[in-house]
Amino acid sequence: MSRDGQRSSRLRHRPSRAIPSIIAGILLLAAGVALAWLAITRLANGTWPPLLQGPRDWLAVLAWNDPAIRQIGIAAVVAGVVLLLCAFIPGGFNALTIDDSRSGAGAEEPPVQERETVMTRRAVARLAKARCLQIDGVGSAAATATTRRVHLNVTTSLHEPGDLRARITDAVRARLEETGLSPVPQVTATVRSRD
């Protein structure tokens, strides 16, 4: 994928933190519904529901310096810190950048300024898998990719694979370099013999 222009949004973006937001929202909504139900029951009947009898009695005998209060406080602080970290620490990039400055080297036109070319992690994994399947001795392959690493799980019919792992990693790394990924992710492989 590529996009030109100064006003366009970046193609290589970080994912939104929707999952932690949804979890926090559902928990807060459930707490709000429960508190509203308890308050309405208290106002309508003049007493708290029998469901709260056990927790109410337990809370009535607690003191501020009770170990249970400290444990509840520590758990609340840890949950809050985890949610804050989820909100502030950015997620991983969804794509890898391609250095396309080499493509305009011999052209008559000057290269386009502010051009961004990216390749999604899924596309990098598919490219690595396709290159791996072209290597002699590889029966099947599966690939996963992050912005820093590509890992291949390879199955071979060879009883002794020998240097197959090195050939795979070298060939895939060379293909990723030819593509122009910048920086080229580290390539690792796990080779298993099919029984």
The pLDDT value given to residue 8? 47
CA distance 99 to 121: 16
Tell me the two tokens of residue 54: 């056990």
Torsion of CA 124, 125, 131, 133, to 10 degrees: -170
Mean pLDDT by 10 residues, the chain (195 residues): 53 69 87 89 84 79 83 90 80 76 54 70 92 91 91 90 90 92 90 83
CA distance 63 to 82: 28
The pLDDT value given to residue 26? 92
- Start and end residues for every CATH 3.30.300.30 domain found in the chain: 96-193
The pLDDT value given to residue 171? 93
> pTM for this one?
0.59
CATH for 96-193 is 3.30.300.30
CA distance 95 to 83: 25
Helices of type H across the chain: 18-45, 53-60, 67-88, 121-133, 164-179
Burial of 73 (0-12, 13-18, 19+ CB in 10 A): exposed
